Amino acid sequence: METALTPMDFARRARRLYADREAVVDGDKRFTYAQFLDRCDRWSSALQGIGVGPGDRVVYIAPNTHSHLESFYAVPQIGAVLVPVNYRLLPEDFEYIINHCGATVVCAHSDYLEAINGIRNKLTGVQHFVALEGVGENWIDYENTLAAHSPDFTEVEINETDLLTINYTSGTTARPKGVMITHRNAYINVMGTLAHHHLTPADRYLWTLPMFHANGWTFTWINTARGMTHVCLRRVEPPLIFQLIKSENITMFCAAPTVLIGIANAPKELCAGAPRGVRLFTAGAPPAAATIEQIERDLGWELTHVYGLTETAPLITVCEARPEHQNLPVEERAKIKARQGVELVSSGELRVVDEDGNEVPHDGETLGEITVRGNVVMKGYYNDPEATDAAIKNGWFHSGDAAVVHPDGFAEIQDRFKDVIISGGENISSVEVEGCLLHHPAVQEAAVVGMPHEKWGESPHAFVILQPGAETTEDALKLHVRDSLAHFKTPQWVSFVEELPKTATGKVQKFVLRGGKAGIARQ
């Protein structure tokens, strides 16, 4: 007997086992699992009432709210396809994504109603506009509509290869691409995460990670699978994070390295009283060992580094804790935790290969590209067969990430291939130089890119944000790197900046730094 592998099954189980447990906290709103899933069913019924059926695309533009969380159940359980959109994009990006995916319904938080109104006449395929919060002319009121409908929606048959979501990439170098994630992709990712990370109904999860980002790394479904409490966070600000960790007894959250930096460098008065033993996942960009060390040493939290891409549903590796790591000094353990690690038991096969497709030796030095195949790899890019063929070759998805493999089998990303700096014929990892700079006590954030150089072809240029109140000089930072790394890796230039250009998921937009589009001059 076979049944479809779908994360919708976690809602069925939660309804039976955790009905009276607290499911969702969003400000002053609190819902049990029975109430939360009843709301999802009512919205499914409402969507069917306006004609949404299997395969139809429903766009959501919202921060981490209870209504956004409800979309991850209400939309796919009627066979429709959820399209959670990066809410920090510009209106013209919204227009492109909505039209490209062929959405018939757009659901938006009150902060984005005006942006959608400005492009509404260009969204010719959209039949219904839903205001998740707030009111607007010719907008369907979410709460009133949900309350007016019965939870008795019409069930549909779901196949595990059906589309669950379309998640659009950041589009930092070209138009965003729509990653097609199936029910099976997401289900396998959930099970792999649970195999490597012990969670229980006693856990309380803080939504620091955007739900739109690769479906919140599938914690939109993981938490429900384990009967945990989802605690929504609408603004990712260190004071609010620490406040909720204390008041809501948070035990687990996920965060990109840029968020970790803000947490690690928060004022001591914010950190005071924060419980020790909080667990967190980090991914999205290679974290610096110095940041990991701060989190674990100063706060007493337990950090797990995972790696993946939107195209892999998203997790494919975990920096697996091993008994032999426990007796290492915190500094050495942090260096290991900065590696991407090993395959999840469910994610399929990962290989780091050279230009000819041969696996690189596990020597910690030979550079290759991370490739992967297995049940978490996307179905393809929506309506873009050329991009799909370019990414998936001979049955392997090519990540574009340059990595080495250590003798213990742990992979470690050195850079994106496009970001590797080739200076005088030598390869320089920008990630390695950034990690070195972050060990300087005056440095809060750093980004390193290759810039043209008359003699060497290109050389490293470091963009640095200093700690509040800290002072240092360009020469001091160069000397710091020179004392720690090979001399040719020392930045030729150092610029002190107030902020770094980033995507909504916390990745530094290095193409902006290279192009000078942020108005940043060399110093």
Q: What are 408-425's pLDDT values in tens digits? A: 999 998 888 878 787 876
**Mean pLDDT, range 105-127, rounded to an integer:** 97
156: pLDDT strictly greater than 90: yes
49 is a domain residue: yes
Confidence band, pLDDT 50/70/90 cuts, at residue 522: very low
CA distance 295 to 238: 13
* 406/442 same-domain check: no
The answer on pLDDT for 32 being more than 60 is yes
Token pair for residue 18?
């955790």
- The whole-model pTM stands at 0.87
Predicted pLDDT of residue 420: 79
Higher pLDDT, 344 or 520: 344
Q: Is 222 inside a domain boundary?
A: no
Mean pLDDT over all residues of the chain? 93
How crowded is the C-beta side of 236, counted as CA atoms within 13 Å? 23
**Among candidates 140, 98, 101, which has minimal Cα distance to 115?**
98
Note the pLDDT tens digit of each residue in 267-315.
989 999 999 999 999 987 777 888 888 899 999 999 999 999 999 999 9
Residues 184 and 242 reside in one and the same domain: no
Tell whether 411 and 427 lie within a shared domain.
no
Name the token pair of 55.
């395969």
- In-domain check, residue 182: yes
Does 321 lie in the same domain as 261? yes
Residue 361 sits in the same domain as residue 509: no
How much is the pLDDT for 486?
81
Quickly count: other Cβ atoms within 10 Å of residue 503's Cβ. Answer: 20
CATH number for the domain including 474? 3.30.300.30
Same domain? For 84 and 171 the reply is yes
Number of structural domains in the chain: 3
**Would you place residue 171 in the very low, low, confident or very high pLDDT band (cuts 50, 70, 90)?**
low
Q: Report yes or no: 63 and 236 within 8 Å, Cβ to Cβ.
A: no
- What share of the chain in percent tops pLDDT 70? 97
Boundary (domain end) residue, out of 190, 224, 251: 190
Using the predicted structure, report yes or no on whether residue 74 has a pLDDT greater than 70: yes
In a domain, 213, yes or no: no
pLDDT at 442 (0 to 100): 95
Which residues touch 485 (CB under 8 Å, ≥6 apart)?
432, 433, 436
Q: Which of 190, 218, 248 is the last residue of a domain?
A: 190
pLDDT tens digits, residue range 464-485?
A: 999 999 999 999 999 999 998 8
Q: Does residue 338 or residue 219 have the better pLDDT?
A: 219
In this structure, the answer to whether residues 308 and 248 fall within a common structural domain is yes
Is the confidence at residue 45, as pLDDT, over 90?
yes
- Predicted confidence (pLDDT) at residue 221 exceeds the cutoff of 60: yes
168-172 average pLDDT score: 73
* Residue 228 within a domain: no
pLDDT at 504 over 80: no
- Three-class SS state of 32: strand
> In the prediction, which pLDDT does 520 show?
41
- Write out the residue range of the structural domain in which residue 156 sits: 8-190
Q: Which two tokens stand for residue 2?
A: 């076979």
Q: In 390-442, where do the E strands start and end?
A: 392-393, 396-405, 411-416, 421-423, 426-428
What is the pLDDT averaged over residues 131-160? Answer: 96
pLDDT value at position 258?
80
CA 452 centroid distance within chain = 32
Do 154 and 258 lie in a common domain? no
Cα–Cα distance, 380 to 182 (Å, whole number): 10
Residue 361, class by beta-carbon neighbours within 10 Å (0-12 exposed, 13-18 middle, 19+ buried)? middle
Which residues have C-beta within 8 Å of that of residue 489, sequence separation ≥ 6? Answer: 428, 432, 433, 460, 481
* DSSP class per residue in 176-212: --EEEEEHHHHHHHHHHHHHHS---TT-EEE--S-TT
pLDDT at 427: 74
In a domain, 173, yes or no: yes
pLDDT of res. 414: 86
Same structural domain for residues 409 and 509? no
What is the per-residue pLDDT for 482? 93
Give the CATH number, domain containing residue 12: 3.40.50.12780
pLDDT recorded at residue 523 = 34
**Considering the domain boundaries, does residue 143 fall inside one?**
yes
Q: What's the gap between Cα 18 and its chain centre?
A: 28
User: Is residue 521 very low, low, confident or very high in pLDDT (cuts 50, 70, 90)?
Assistant: very low
Residues 171 and 244 reside in one and the same domain? no
Which of 166-180, 312-326, 366-380 is predicted with the least confidence, judged by mean pLDDT?
Answer: 166-180
Tell me if 520 sits within 8 A of 513, measured CB to CB.
yes
Distance of CA 298 to the CA centre of its chain: 25
**Residue 114 in 3-state DSSP?**
helix
Lowest mean pLDDT among 33-37, 92-96, 424-428, 515-519: 515-519
Q: 149 and 12: one domain?
A: yes
Q: Strands (DSSP E) along 406-481, which ranges?
A: 411-416, 421-423, 426-428, 443-453, 457-466
The residue among 190, 223, 243 that closes a domain is 190
523 within a domain of the structure (yes/no)? no
Residue 174: what pLDDT?
Answer: 65
Average pLDDT over residues 338-353: 95
Query: Which amino acid does the sequence have at 104?
Result: T
Rounded to whole angstroms, how far apart are CA atoms 283 and 305? 6
The answer on 429 and 338 residing in a single domain is: no
At 433 the pLDDT is 92
